[in-house]
Structure 1
Amino acid sequence: MKRSGSPSATVAVLAVTSLLATLLQTMVIPLVPDFPALLNASPTDASWVVTITLLTGAIVTPVSGRLGDLFGKRRVLLVTLAVTIVGAVISALTSSLWPMVIGRGLQGSVIGVIPLAFGLFRDALPPRRIGGAITLLSATLGLGAAVGIPLAGLIVEHFEWNVLFWGAAGLGLLCTLLIVLVVPESPQRAEGRFDVVGAVGLTAGLIGLLLPIVNGGQWGWGSTRTLGLGAAAVVVLLGWGWHQLRTASPLVDLRGSARRPVLMANLATVSVGFAMFTMLFAFPQVLQAPTATGYGFGQSLVRSGLAVAPNGVVALLLTPVAARLITRYGARSSMLLGAVVVAAGYVFVALRMESIAVFVIASGVIGAGAGISAAATTKLITDSAPVTDTASANGVNALMRSVGSAASTAVLPVILAHATITVGPATLPSADGFRTTFYVGAAAAIVALVLTALVPASTPTSGVLARQHSTPVAKPDGGVLARR
């Protein structure tokens, strides 16, 4: 049945759905230290509860985007949510490791809703509202990541831990119902078939690439497993790229992704993803560290999570400002500003670690910069892609963000492991170790700044690129409406 929800209702529903995506990523963080006991598993095996979601999300983002462009973004969005709900129910019902890993892996597919939502904005909204909607959704993603930790901590303190997953399943059902009632299906369709070989190749390559990144510190960076998987991943991804360039209906338009505006924006997104996760990784540890360390504040999980929450709240409150910046000065200039603000936030906290207020302020500053940068990057990607490839183009960009986050999970623990102090019977990271991670976060933002500066000052509009990529737009009955 065709839906014709108002633009405002469509934006609100898709924003709430994207909030679910980031909540599912961060809500298990309070349970990480307890998973070995809860699941009767070793710490190494229990780490898969987090790792599998990261891997699944990285794989699903470009796949869901391409499926949405081919078969309908709303339809694929509903399927993605159904898979996520099943995964949440499996996790809620189990106390064993591998069923939990399977459930979390299915939940990782929720990341695929992000490129689909961005694509639906472009298809369902009038042009004047697209920029603001993209900015709101980008801010909502940051809010979900920021509030996920304190919200989960609060639930775990007062209820059984399984309630987390029942809550996720309930929110997934609510989002599904709202999408069915409110969100219209996109009339845009890309021509061609789904590239099964490309999907398998991308899956194998990303697993081979991300596993060493996530587990390199545990396996040893020079171990045969780490180096072997990394080398195999490079070979597989090169073969995958060769296939994408030769097939008529590629999973990812590499030629389009290689255009300078899109390429530089995607590379900058890797750095921004790294910088953002640095805060989520390091700030709670400093705030929860015992005061005997000389730098910690001994805060509870909930309080430390609330101290990080301004990251998402500020990004959300600045949504109108970010939208006006993008409209007035362009996506490239806004990306540059966002990177500078993120770097300034990290330098501030690195120089002033003496109070909780410093971390609250730095969290808000970093959130403001990351929110502006993410919204501007998505706008640039959306404007640079042909209208029939919007979701798949944003799927590649979401993949880049996942790669940046995964890289930070590998690099930051290594830094902290080499700068430790002894407090009683415990060995903990030192203040200098955390200060170094903050400077690394600032450096990642500066790298994003440099890459953004390489984006041409004026980029082609989506209409120009759509004409350059003349693509038939299919009708629902299989005919052709027009050639773009």
Structure 2
Amino acid sequence: MTSALDRRTDYRITFVVLLLGVASFSLLQSMVNPVLPTIARELETDQATATWVLTAYLLSASVFTPIIGRVGDKVGKEKMLVFALSALAVGSLVAALAPSIGVLIAARAVQGIGGGVLPLTFGIIRDEFPREKVAGAVGVSGALLAVGGGIGLVLAGPLVDALSYHWLFWLPMIITVLAAVAAAVLVPESPERTPGRINVGSALLLSAWLVALLLGVSQGHSWGWGSVEVVALFVAAAVLLPVWVLAEARSADPLVDMKMMRIPTVWTVNLVALLFGMGMYSMFAFLPAFLQVPEAAGYGFGASVTESGLLLLPQTVATFLAGLLSGRLAGRYGSKPLLFVGAALTALGTLGLVLAHDQVWQVVVETTILGFAFGLAFAAMSNLVVEAVPQSQTGVASGMNANIRTVGGAIGSAVLATVVTSGARPDGIPVEAGYTHGFAVLVGTATLAAIVALFVPVVRARTHVVPGPQAEAEAELAAAR
């Protein structure tokens, strides 16, 4: 007789647990951004040091997202999901109690390990859900990352005003602990495993070039783009990246299979992810700042942290609705058209910000369009990658896609920071042209993303033979396993 513990948990219960994990991680991506000055003041440090609260999280998440996704493919996604959520909870606890900026920065690095939640979520959905439910579930989970980013901007101000900045970490910790316990008890272990050992050398090389690239990009504006430190970091990244690719290509047990990365659908969607990440994460960083510019500057609305978050609430709602609709739309039209529409709407909404930003209603309408676009594109990217790779590669493939979005976001934010502040006034407030030129750059990246989306090949059904390079790459992957 089969015991209750042997029965598979209903996929809908599993889905709720997974969404809790994704929500807690995505909240921590954005809630800290608007209140960095408050944190710097409370912990008696300068703004440059306080920015490491963001940088440490970015570097850690970029390193651990693909690694944990790959380890999950090999040793079990449920085990690694509990591990990632536990790290997120521990990091949040330490951050909430941090007595100094150094401890807070270290805690944020621990939180970054939780980046593995997203690829593990996609892998578990593919393993456990009925085939017809996979696209919708992946779409909602992917869009929730953008939704959480928006909710974080909305909640940051009220939480700090009503309680303290410590609750920016207490709240995600509570959610994460609940998700970790529920995952350990309710989420079944994945039946799909990839044989072979964990390639530690590849993981170290991946970490090295990612840290070099992202540290150079994130600190270039403050250290100086021509400084010895930044140039050395970029040179190191340029050397280590091809070394990593070559090592992975020759490895019998690669961390990231280069044959998988060469699948046409995968590399084209990853290129879209890079371009799209440049726009979306830059908007999360700079729209609140734009809304908070004092009206005396001749533009902006003088909004408080709380008010700027509320003005962006329609954007978050639109992202959530797009995520809910994405599964049905993908089933009817396919994920590729959704990706194109999402990128095109991003270009349209950003162009609106360039041309018309004098009235509050204009900015609200434009950011709402952006929110809907983010939801569609995130869902479509996730689905296209998941559908394009063998089931045993789901974690690492979606992890690399998420990672490439993060790299794009770091590059976009650095470029936008340089453009926006290039003509700052004596009081340090950027001139209006800085913002309009910065937004114009993002119109270009979103337009390029839409163009690339037109050339993304589509995997119709993995149970059928699809002729061409896509099928050849998949056959090579199958043979390698």
Matched, 1:237 2:278: no
1:139-158 superposed matches below 5 A = 139-158=143-162
> Structure 1 residue 166: deviation in Å?
2.0
Match of 1:228 among 212, 232, 243: 232
**Which residue is equivalent to 1:449?**
450
Alignment of 1:157-168 (within 5 A): 157-168=161-172
The residue aligned with 2:430 is 429
**Matches of 2:33 and 2:7 in 1, distance apart?**
38
Matched residue of 1:318: which SS?
A: helix
SS of the equivalent of 2:372 reads helix
Assess if the C-alpha contact under 8 Å between 1:341 and 1:369 holds in 2. Answer: yes
Given that 2:224 and 2:230 are in contact with CA atoms closer than 8 Å, whether structure 1 keeps it comes out as: yes
Amino acid of the structure 1 residue aligned with 2:459: T
2:468 aligns to what? none
Residue aligning to 2:28: 24
Distance 2:46 2:298 in 1: 31
Superposition deviation, residue 342 in structure 1: 0.8
| TM superposition shift of 1:3 | 6.1
How far 1:12 moved relative to its partner?
2.2
Q: Which amino acid aligns with 1:309?
A: L
| Structure 2 equivalent of residue 285 of structure 1 | 289
Query: TM-score, normalized by length of structure 2?
Result: 0.94
In structure 1, the residue corresponding to 2:429 is in which secondary structure? strand
Do the aligned partners of 2:347 and 2:442 also contact (CA within 8 Å) in 1?
Answer: yes
Q: Tell me how far 1:177 sits from its aligned partner.
A: 2.0
Superposition TM-score, scaled by structure 1 size: 0.93
Which AA in structure 2 matches 1:177? V
Structure 2: how far apart are the matches of 1:19 and 1:357? 29
Structure 1 residues 288-339: Cα deviation after superposition (integer angstroms, max 9, x where no partner): 1111111111111111012112222112113343223222222222211111
TM superposition shift of 1:419: 2.6
Residues 5 and 312 (structure 1), Cα distance of their counterparts in 2 relative to 1, 3 Å cut: farther
- Contact kept? 2:212, 2:237, Cα under 8 Å: yes
Question: Which residue is 1:356 aligned to?
Answer: 360
| Match of residue 478 from structure 1 | none
Over 4 Å off, 4+ runs: 464-468
2:315–2:368 Cα contact (<8 Å) kept: yes
**2:443 partner amino acid:** A
- Counterpart contact for 1:139–1:312, Cα < 8 Å: no
Corresponding residue of 1:391: 395
Identity among equivalent pairs (%)? 33
- TM-fit CA distance, 1:146: 0.4
- Once residues 9 and 328 of structure 2 are traced to their aligned partners in structure 1, the CA distance between those partners, rounded to angstroms, is 25
Q: What secondary structure sits across from 1:401 in the alignment?
A: helix
Query: What displacement does 1:37 show?
Result: 2.7
Cα distance in 1 for residues equivalent to 2:170 and 2:19: 21
Asked if the contact 2:341/2:373 (under 8 Å) is kept, the reply is: yes
CA contact (8 A) 2:353 2:363 kept: yes
1:107 and 1:179 map into 2 onto residues whose CA distance is 18
Shift in Å, 1:35: 3.0
**2:90–2:110 contact (8 Å) kept in structure 1:** yes
2:478 to 470, 474, 479: 470
Aligned equivalents of 1:309, 1:411: Cα separation in 2: 26
In 2, Cα distance between the equivalents of 1:461 and 1:243? 32
Match of 1:476 in 2: none
Equivalence map 1:292-441=2 (5 Å): 292-422=296-426, 426-441=427-442
Q: Is the 8 A contact 1:191 1:471 kept in 2?
A: no
Structure 2 residue aligned with 1:206: 210
Q: Aligned letter for 2:190?
A: S
Q: What RMSD over aligned residues (CA atoms) do the two structures have, in Å?
A: 1.7
Q: Partners in 2 of 1:447 and 1:418 — Cα distance?
A: 24
- Deviation of 1:471 after TM superposition, in Å, equals 6.3
Contact 2:299/2:432 (8 A) holds in 1: yes
Residue identity in the other structure for 1:110: G
Q: Which amino acid aligns with 1:286?
A: F
Residues 292 and 304, structure 2, Cα contact 8 Å, conserved in 1: yes
Greater Cα offset, 10-19 or 122-131: 10-19
Could you tell me how far apart the structure 2 residues matched to 1:303 and 1:236 are? 44
The residue type equivalent to 1:446 in the other structure is T
Q: How far apart are residue 156 of structure 1 and its match?
A: 0.7
What's 1:194 paired with? 198
Separation in 1, partners of 2:377, 2:289: 26
Shift of 1:29: 1.5
Q: Which runs of 5+ in 2 are unaligned?
A: 466-470
Residue identity matched to 1:399: N
- More deviation, 400-409/434-443: 434-443
Return the offset for 1:431.
Answer: 1.6
**How far apart, CA to CA, are the structure 1 residues paired with 2:295 and 2:453?**
40
Are the counterparts in 2 of residues 69 and 391 from structure 1 also a CA contact under 8 Å?
yes
Work out the CA distance in 2 between the residues paired with 1:3 and 1:250: 34
Structure 1 residue 468 displacement after superposition? 4.8
**Paired amino acid for 1:449:** A
Which 5+ residue runs of structure 1 have no aligned equivalent? 473-483
**CA deviation after TM superposition for structure 1 residue 347, in Å:** 1.0
What amino acid is the match of 2:448?
Answer: V
Q: How far has the Cα of 1:467 moved from its partner?
A: 5.2
* Conserved? CA contact 1:270–1:401, under 8 Å: yes
CA contact (8 A) 2:277 2:405 kept: yes
Measure, in 2, the Cα distance between the counterparts of 1:159 and 1:21: 21
| Match of residue 266 from structure 1 | 270
Question: What is the match of residue 475 of structure 1?
Answer: none
Q: Is the contact between residue 259 and residue 476 of structure 2 (CA under 8 Å) also seen in structure 1?
A: no
**Shift of the alpha carbon at 1:346?**
0.7
Aligned position for 1:92:
96
Question: Given residue 199 of structure 1, which amino acid in structure 2 is its aligned partner?
Answer: A
What amino acid maps onto 1:229 in structure 2?
A: L
Instruction: Report which stretch shifted further, 5-14 or 79-88.
Output: 5-14
Separation (CA, whole Å) in 1 of partners of 2:143 and 2:265: 22
Query: 1:252-286: per-residue Cα shift (whole Å, max 9, x none)?
Result: 01111112211110011011111112221222112
